[in-house]
Structure 1
Amino acid sequence: MKQIKSLFLNLFVLIAISACKQNQTKETTPEFKVDFEKFTLDNGLQVILHVDRSDPVAAVALTAHVGSAREKEGRTGFAHLFEHLLFLESENLGKGGLDQMSARIGGSGANGSTNRDRTNYFQTVPKDALEKMIWAEADKLGFFINTVTEPVLAKEKQVVKNEKRQRVDNQPYGHNFAVINSNLYPEGHPYSWEVIGSLEDLQNATLEDVKEFFRRWYVPNNVTLTIAGDIDVEQTKAWVKKYFDEIPRGEAIPKLEKQPVTLKSSKRLFYEDNFARAPRLTMTWPGVPEYDKDSYALSVLTNYLSNGKKAPLNKVLINDEKLTDNVSFYQYNSELAGQLMLTVTAFNQTDLNAVASAIKDGLKDFELNGISEEDLNRIKAGQETDFYRGLSSVLGKGFQLAQYEIFTGDPGFINQDVKNILAVTPEDVMRVYNTYIKDKNFVATSFVPKGQKNLVLDNSQLATIKEEKIIEGAEETFDASIAATYEKTPSSFDRSIEPPYGPSPELNIPTVWKKDLDSGIKVYGIENNEVPLVQFEIQIAGGLLLENKNKVGVSNLLAELMTKGTKNKTTEELENAIESIGASIYSYATEENIIISGTTLSKHFDKTLELVTEILLEPRWDETEFELLKQSTISSIQRSKANPNSIASDEFSKLLYGNNNILAYNNNGTEASVNSIDIMDLKDYYNKNLSPQLANFHIVGAISEADVVNALSKIDANWQPKDITIPELALPLYPEKSTVYFYDVPGAKQSVIRFGYPALKATHKDYYPASVMNYRLGGGSFASQLTQELREGKGYTYGIRSRFNGTANKGEFVISSGVRSNVTYESAALVKEILENYGKNYNEKDLEVTKGFTIKSTARAFETLSAKLDMLSSISNYGLSDDYAKQREAIVKNMTVEDVKALIESYIKPNQMIYLIVGDAETQLDKLEALGFGKPVLLNESKENLE
């Protein structure tokens, strides 16, 4: 996949289908419908259209009913490989394909995902580019395969293998799914191998293998096209028929029969994980396929057992035995079969036999007490809110319609889906527990840190995992610049002519209302009635900035504790009160703020704000919850020490800011600092630093200004102002010269890079222009030089980006990536070369592409509630005007090549940069001296740790 995991879309579907109209008070909501029109072309292409005129955008999704389940053993990973290949080139789009076009037309970033059963390709574009997108999607389906040559295949194999290294091989517990699935499903079952495939299978794939796979599955009669947004239905139909009609139907696609599995006995397996720092137990039972009649009750069951203070498993594992800080239990359902997965990452040095025993006790508790009607309705209320959240974008609606079409044959299955959810009873929940979990066989995996085999579940066998060895020069070479030569596929019209733009949409800037309350709270709101939902946040300035560096972690613990009960409600009572109205409320700390955020149905906004008021003004200060949070935080800190990405982030901050700056510290703190914090430290921070004068309230959704202000009246009247000054930090300067730093993670399959230096605050006049300048360097994904050179040209990485990252208090320029371990030096040298030449080579074409994307993408800038909330945050935090989007549009339109070159000269400093690499020092360290910045500094040995 390109940038998102297929699991995200599975989770989306679980959300999108989980609508209900029932809660504890038996309130009813008018039926919410997603209207659509469906038709089928003569070649079998299913087309679904949905009109949504809330924003001048259109979402286009092409979904092929092929995932890893349609592959052959020994040739795994093909479906996922094609997710990549279809973006690269087609006969009429040319080299660069959809990615290059997306940059020109202001798309949200062409993307895709693959799972066991389907592969999809999607993006949201300004509505004037809809015909272009339909033309492009047709070109991918009918005029693509001739462009795949040996060099193209060789390069993309490297990209996919880099993705596997990044997502699996170089991650804690990365191999867990592979161990589970290969043991849960019998050999030959289409779910017994992983969606991403194996490195060996990918390497062995021939060009003919790949072409055969495409011709079999990527045919109109196995594809659904979904178009949603501000569209003219008749015109859209005409375009679809014009561009797709003559693509020939493929062979008949056989329907795959359901293939549920049973286990003759339980299996126990273990693995000593190079990247793990805490033991993890996962128990997996055979479940049911997607949309099975029992999947609805199982969804309630897994939620009830593991979510919240009242959950039977949490009561034993977290509260009583204090073995972990989190229990995860969920269904992973697919078209042919499903599985129930219970995962517990235990605290450091915890015996997983104790975890298994506690799980058994938690399940016994459920057997004795079952689930009440009240708890059942509480869960359904949350599903209702999640449902509306899933429909807040046109792309979300498109996904949902395609999912129903492919797996049920009817996009309108949503209505039956809702009925199935509403029909679940407490008796159903107990029945599915007895049917699928109680006394049933399972697969148990124990993943433990290296050298801690003593913690694994008794009678476990060593799991079989193929580990890649780091070998210099092991990968085949290729020349990505070689143009494919082929005979073009005939067409009834000239498809090489890209369709014109339609009428340009007007930038639709939401109307912002503002109100200063007597206490000092500044309120910013946008009323939006597209869905009956409200999102909000209270942002209180401070966070890490107001902490003592000897006790870092106070603001983080305080924020976490604020939702663990109030003066009049225990943790469990508060959770139940929130969930019974289908709301969600979170509290967290950042480097610069403490934030309380939430989502609720608009009809429950008043009740939700009443609970927020208690959380803010009447903290419980529960000592037991505080100790649990401390233990949880320490465990998280310990686990992060083995995650190369976490290491890179923390070490880069230390190098950037130095020991004397509070911003050098992760706001979670260190093991030592968190251990030193007591609850009085939290009370002291709360009493001294939380003030309405430092608070901004942002709100978006189906609610009026008057109702918001009225709901805030109690907070306004009772929150006492304090005189607090946020300290002005001395910001670091550019390094005098570049230095290479290396953090050793022995055996790392990738090197994680963080290159950069201090840069502009978000309030600086050049901050936005500099971000525009960066688009063609590393901010424009496939339109950027870093991606084109390191991923598309060399196959060194799965992804790389550069960005200016600024706030009102700090700024930095960062280049980040994970590169194949055995090309660490080559990658760093190529990045350095690109930086050195960026200004010299920047030209009118670069500026044209930058302007095209930046200006056109504003049409979709404020589509979702979250995007509107971000808009309010930018206005309040950085002093921007309400129409800052229009002002930025004018800045971009007026930029010249000379302007960009001046910005590059001022803000791109390849010879005054921190070059940080986290990887395998034994094989990679010494070569980096050739960068010309002296001998690399090995941080594990020579740099004093901030702890």
Structure 2
Amino acid sequence: MALGGSWTAGVAAALLLATSAAAQPARLPPPTGQLAPVQQFTLANGLHVVFHIDRSDPVTAVVLAPRVGSSRETPGRTGFAHLFEHLFFLESENLGKGGLDKLSARVGGSGADGSTDRDITDYLQTVPNDALEKMIWAEADKLGFFINTVTDPVLAKEKQVVKNEKRELYDNQPYGFAQHVVAAQLYPRDHPYSWPLIGSMADLEAATLGDVKAFYRRWYGPGNVTLVIAGDFDPVQARGWVEKYFAEIPKGTAAPRLQPRKATLSANRNVYYPDAFAELPQLTLAWPTVPRHHRDSWALTLLFDLLTQGKDAPLSKVLVEEQRLTAELKAQVSDGVLAGEHDLVITAFKDVDLDRVRAGVNQGFARFERDGVAAEHLARAKIRREVEFYRNFESVLGKARNLARYDVYAGTPDFADRDLAMLRAVTAADLQRVYRAYIKGRPHVAASFVPRDQPQLAVQGATLARVVEERIVQGAEKPVDPDAGQAVYKRTASSFDRTVEPPYGPPPQVKTPPIWEARLPNGLRLMGMQDRELPLATFELSIDGGRLFDDPKKPGAANLLAQMLTKGTVRRTRAEFEQALQGLGADVTVSAGEERFLISGRTLARNFAPTMDLLREMILEPRWDETELRLAKAATVASIQSRRAEAPALAERVMSHVTYGPDHPLGLNPLGAEASVQALTLAELKALHARAIAPNLARFRVVGAVDRNATVAALRDLGRRWKAGGAKVPKPPAPDPPSASRVVFYDLPDAKQSMLQFGYPALRRDDPDYYPAWVANYVLGGGGFASRLIQQVREDKGYTYGVRSTFRGGAYDGAFQVTSPVRANVTLEAATLIRDIVRDYGRTFTPQDLEVTKAFISKSNARAFETPAAKLKILANVGDYGLPRDYLRAEARVVSGMTVEKVQAIAAKQLRTDAMTFVVVGDARTQAARMTGLGYGAPVMIKDEVADR
């Protein structure tokens, strides 16, 4: 995680910000040293190699990044870059089928991952540093020894997986097609940014094996690839490995660098789409702007931040505070090598005409033109963006990925310092200049997405957008069998035997950071891990109770209380509170979970003490403002309404309803019901605050560049003023597991996928059987692509994009669950397959499965302390669940002692498919009756019971 060179010491001295919460943010001088120093070289075949050394943890990240994305495609052949990303993981000549995923599991890696963008595809992996040579060998095998293994059956199966991904991310989501519609209007039809990155169903179906092989030959030569290795390794040794495994791969066809081609609109484009899944109207306004890393990029991003973020931002002031048309505005940027755009996305309240929203945006712009931007507001916005910038470098994988993307988008991997300097250099005059150049009076796209039965809410004069929607047709897709017709090929020649997997290096030397503890006079327990690799401190205040304090007759109070804690203090209005945090480079969020309230945040370590002063104000002196309560209620009701067509949220709600029942606080919508939220009063929230926000229920933890003494000093006043008491968490009865299996079906008309969530109450986190069960689940569904569920449901059948199983253990109760969104017309088939895999798991568990499980869990401990989030998780397990400080050692002994027989015994006891609730959220017209075939009787239809609870 260290950023290299003298940066850490330099920036700690350089970040001389305000020393009190009320002070104005100071100008930030540049840090000394480089953010992420690199070594780079290019092989004779054109492979560009970038090294970054980071000795903080015994791990390395490997990123292979071909400079190809959807921008290299042509009309009629869209989606190839993304489809190819999927195929690239499956097999290679010397790794074999699924070889990369199996290797990653054996060495304790993070799991092979990848992504496709408009201009880049990257393949990502983090492993303990003793496995670096193995990963270099594997990545080279993928790049140079892969294409012969692809067959027509493999291609047919992966098309189904990609289609499932498209359904999950776009087709089955409210507003899922919004960005597709905007891009089609913003760019001419022959512009590579005009089509969806994932491609069209028709183009995917039309792709042939010949097309795939031609795409590989054109774009996947080493001369078009950057390889980045970051972490704790010997660069001389690693260079030798790179040359050994990559150098003899032929260079391939040179790929010319893309030249900018901005979007040009001669007039406004105004379109609408009646969305079957939208409950609220949404307006997206999109302006063509500049490519990534253009000299105006940061000024435009900061402009949109200042227009939308915070209570006093001009657009928020008009649309949220004054006209009350929406709960929030989102600003987003989409940019690449060719062009860029900046968008405003506004989800309005129910029945709001989007013409009113558009008029409000214009009024906000007029206010910005009149008032401009105060210097302190710009300074705060820059600090916030700078802290986010540092967060991209918290892990070696984050650094490796950013270095690869800089190489593609900026033309050099060592661009981070210039990027940060460009952010720091933005002035108020720059904001006015880019506003006039790109936004004020400029042609733009207005896209209205409205509920299907309310087209009148669209912006006046809008024309219907063209969207191709998939129809649910039973049996429309042919069954796939990727193992049919095994590839027959002559093995690609090599100067050495590539079938021999390289050996491990020396075992990683894991440095376990010490945990310090302290206790304040009011009993508040403090815990922390010191980490000076970044100038940041990340903290959490965990308070037992959360939604367990909710009254089932009037739910939603816990969530509303969490919101109100961020709406200002007795001493500060909400705007002043937000500005104080921003001036310190800090952010704080509050959430109400099933078992606890969590106040979490991050700040520049130099400003930890004044940030804790604000935390104390927030906890002890909430503002309790009636106007803020009305706004919070409106936002909550909008969230309740918008989630009525979100399949994953609906599946969670149905499972909670049938598990806990309507008289249990956890059996209801975590946001509450519309009526109960509207009825809650400030007096009730104050009373809940007095009962629930108490130090005897709380624990504070921090990770970062602050030590024990600094933490105790910063929280001393909180320990003095937050009075100890005898607060108690309500303990409703734990749910009983079902005595028999049944299917519960929630109708989501015209759903392109069915959301499956199967499970039952299970082990708490402190149960001695919990961790052994968690270990046993790794090969079943906890191990990503190493898991049986993924391999059979996705890789063999093509039914889904993702499926997982988990034992979720809390302090109050626990659960075993399997979740997966599946293609709608194989709902029964997928449910049956998942049920059978879980049922037969113990009987089919093998010694090889045990070997993979032990290898992954034991070796992955090298990554246990790499990021602030990982360290906080360890502190949470000790503090919130009462585990011993050395629990990782105890768990290592559990893993070491696991046997096939023990896993089989766990499966027999804990995996109960004959007493499981099978929740399905999908299209009842086509799928409900079919679910009788699962063998548990006709499904129980359950919509009215959870519609507004």
Same fold by TM-score greater than 0.5 = yes
The letter of the residue matching 2:293 is Y
Q: Is the contact made by 1:659 and 1:946 (CA closer than 8 Å) also made in structure 2?
A: no
Q: Which residue of 2 aligns with 1:51?
A: 53
Q: Which residue of 2 aligns with 1:714?
A: 717
SS at match of 1:598: strand
SS at match of 1:778: helix
The letter of the residue matching 2:231 is G
Aligned: 1:80 with 2:82: yes
Q: Which residue of 2 aligns with 1:227?
A: 229
Deviations 1:206-265 (A, max 9, x none): 000011001100111110000000101100000000000000111221122110121111
5 Å-filtered alignment, 1:590-605, equals 590-605=593-608
Query: How far did residue 599 of structure 1 move?
Result: 0.5
The letter of the residue matching 1:334 is G
Q: Which residue of 1 aligns with 2:750?
A: 747
Aligned: 1:766 with 2:769: yes
Deviations 1:747-797 (A, max 9, x none): 100000010001000110011110111111111111111111110000000
Query: How far did residue 343 of structure 1 move?
Result: 0.6
2:278 is matched with which residue: 253, 276, 279? 276
Q: Which residue of 1 aligns with 2:32?
A: 31
Q: Which residue of 1 aligns with 2:609?
A: 606
Query: How far did residue 69 of structure 1 move?
Result: 0.3
Aligned-pair Cα RMSD in Å: 1.4
5 Å-filtered alignment, 1:677-688, equals 677-688=680-691
Where does the alignment leave 5 or more consecutive residues of structure 2 unmatched? 1-13, 18-24
Q: Which residue of 2 aligns with 1:330?
A: 332
Deviations 1:518-554 (A, max 9, x none): 1010101100111111000111111111121112111
Query: How far did residue 30 of structure 1 move?
Result: 3.7
The letter of the residue matching 2:511 is N
SS at match of 2:417: helix
Where does the alignment leave 5 or more consecutive residues of structure 1 unmatched? 1-19
SS at match of 1:316: helix
Q: Distance in 1 between matches of 2:917 and 2:526?
A: 40
Query: How far did residue 923 of structure 1 move?
Result: 0.9
5 Å-filtered alignment, 1:574-723, equals 574-723=577-726
Q: Which residue of 2 aligns with 1:12?
A: none
Aligned: 1:458 with 2:465: no
Q: Is the contact made by 2:130 and 2:506 (CA closer than 8 Å) also made in structure 1?
A: yes
Closer, same or farther: CA 209–27 of 1 in aligned 2, 3 Å = closer
Q: Which residue of 1 aligns with 2:516?
A: 513
Closer, same or farther: CA 944–544 of 1 in aligned 2, 3 Å = closer
Q: After alignment, is 922-931 or 144-153 more displaced?
A: 922-931
Q: Distance in 2 between matches of 1:785 and 1:473?
A: 25
Aligned: 1:905 with 2:905: no
Query: How far did residue 271 of structure 1 move?
Result: 0.8
Q: Is the contact made by 1:509 and 1:883 (CA closer than 8 Å) also made in structure 2?
A: no
Q: Distance in 1 between matches of 2:120 and 2:234?
A: 28
Q: Distance in 1 between matches of 2:481 and 2:586?
A: 54
Aligned: 1:343 with 2:345: yes
Q: After alignment, is 110-119 or 500-509 more displaced?
A: 500-509
Q: After alignment, is 621-630 or 394-403 more displaced?
A: 394-403
Query: How far did residue 425 of structure 1 move?
Result: 1.1
Q: Which residue of 2 aligns with 1:499?
A: 502
Aligned: 1:849 with 2:852: yes
Q: Is the contact made by 2:150 and 2:487 (CA closer than 8 Å) also made in structure 1?
A: yes
Aligned: 1:364 with 2:376: no
Q: Is the contact made by 1:402 and 1:411 (CA closer than 8 Å) also made in structure 2?
A: yes
Aligned: 1:162 with 2:139: no
Q: Is the contact made by 1:21 and 1:384 (CA closer than 8 Å) also made in structure 2?
A: no
5 Å-filtered alignment, 1:369-380, equals 369-380=371-382
SS at match of 2:453: coil
Q: Which residue of 2 aligns with 1:15?
A: none
Q: Is the contact made by 2:386 and 2:420 (CA closer than 8 Å) also made in structure 1?
A: no
Q: Which residue of 2 aligns with 1:786?
A: 789
Q: Distance in 2 between matches of 1:393 and 1:207?
A: 38
Q: Is the contact made by 2:274 and 2:450 (CA closer than 8 Å) also made in structure 1?
A: yes
Q: Which residue of 1 aligns with 2:543?
A: 540
The letter of the residue matching 1:741 is V
Closer, same or farther: CA 859–551 of 1 in aligned 2, 3 Å = same
SS at match of 1:797: coil
Q: Which residue of 1 aligns with 2:530?
A: 527
Q: Distance in 1 between matches of 2:520 and 2:406?
A: 47
2:740 is matched with which residue: 737, 740, 743? 737
The letter of the residue matching 1:251 is T
SS at match of 2:594: coil
The letter of the residue matching 1:245 is A
Q: Which residue of 2 aligns with 1:181?
A: 183
1:550 is matched with which residue: 539, 550, 553? 553
Q: Distance in 2 between matches of 1:361 and 1:478?
A: 55
Q: Distance in 2 between matches of 1:418 and 1:526?
A: 28
Q: Is the contact made by 1:21 and 1:381 (CA closer than 8 Å) also made in structure 2?
A: no
Structure 1 ranges of 4+ moved more than 4 A: 20-23, 943-946
Closer, same or farther: CA 462–161 of 1 in aligned 2, 3 Å = same
SS at match of 1:549: coil
Deviations 1:883-915 (A, max 9, x none): 211211111011111111110011000110001
Q: Distance in 2 between matches of 1:592 and 1:127?
A: 38
SS at match of 2:801: strand
Q: Is the contact made by 1:688 and 1:722 (CA closer than 8 Å) also made in structure 2?
A: no
Q: Is the contact made by 1:278 and 1:448 (CA closer than 8 Å) also made in structure 2?
A: yes
Identity of aligned residues (%): 49
Deviations 1:462-488 (A, max 9, x none): 111101111111113332223322111
Query: How far did residue 446 of structure 1 move?
Result: 0.5
Q: Distance in 2 between matches of 1:764 and 1:28?
A: 52
Q: Distance in 2 between matches of 1:26 and 1:858?
A: 41
Q: Distance in 1 between matches of 2:15 and 2:74?
A: 44
Deviations 1:441-500 (A, max 9, x none): 111011011111111100000111101111111113332223322111100000011111
Q: Distance in 2 between matches of 1:867 and 1:139?
A: 32
Q: Distance in 1 between matches of 2:310 and 2:513?
A: 36
Q: Distance in 1 between matches of 2:593 and 2:749?
A: 31
Q: Distance in 2 between matches of 1:418 and 1:546?
A: 45
Q: Distance in 1 between matches of 2:747 and 2:896?
A: 46
Deviations 1:295-329 (A, max 9, x none): 12111101100111111100000000000011112
Q: Is the contact made by 2:653 and 2:946 (CA closer than 8 Å) also made in structure 1?
A: no
Q: Is the contact made by 1:543 and 1:589 (CA closer than 8 Å) also made in structure 2?
A: yes
Deviations 1:675-703 (A, max 9, x none): 12111111011122211111100100011
Deviations 1:424-452 (A, max 9, x none): 11111001000101011111011011111
SS at match of 2:840: helix
Count of aligned positions: 928
Query: How far did residue 21 of structure 1 move?
Result: 6.1
The letter of the residue matching 2:365 is L
Q: Is the contact made by 1:303 and 1:330 (CA closer than 8 Å) also made in structure 2?
A: no
Q: Is the contact made by 1:739 and 1:936 (CA closer than 8 Å) also made in structure 2?
A: yes
2:927 is matched with which residue: 918, 924, 927? 924
Q: Distance in 1 between matches of 2:636 and 2:601?
A: 23
1:113 is matched with which residue: 108, 112, 115? 115
Q: Which residue of 2 aligns with 1:103?
A: 105
The letter of the residue matching 1:273 is D
Q: Which residue of 2 aligns with 1:559?
A: 562
Q: Distance in 1 between matches of 2:698 and 2:305?
A: 34
Q: Which residue of 1 aligns with 2:886?
A: 883
Aligned: 1:206 with 2:208: yes
Q: After alignment, is 731-740 or 502-511 more displaced?
A: 502-511
Q: Which residue of 2 aligns with 1:5?
A: none
Query: How far did residue 31 of structure 1 move?
Result: 2.5
Query: How far did residue 944 of structure 1 move?
Result: 7.3
The letter of the residue matching 2:903 is V
SS at match of 1:325: strand
SS at match of 1:504: coil
Q: Is the contact made by 2:552 and 2:662 (CA closer than 8 Å) also made in structure 1?
A: no
Q: Distance in 2 between matches of 1:369 and 1:766?
A: 63
Q: Which residue of 1 aligns with 2:22?
A: none
Query: How far did residue 407 of structure 1 move?
Result: 2.0
The letter of the residue matching 2:836 is E
Deviations 1:116-167 (A, max 9, x none): 0000001110111100000000001000000110011000000000000000
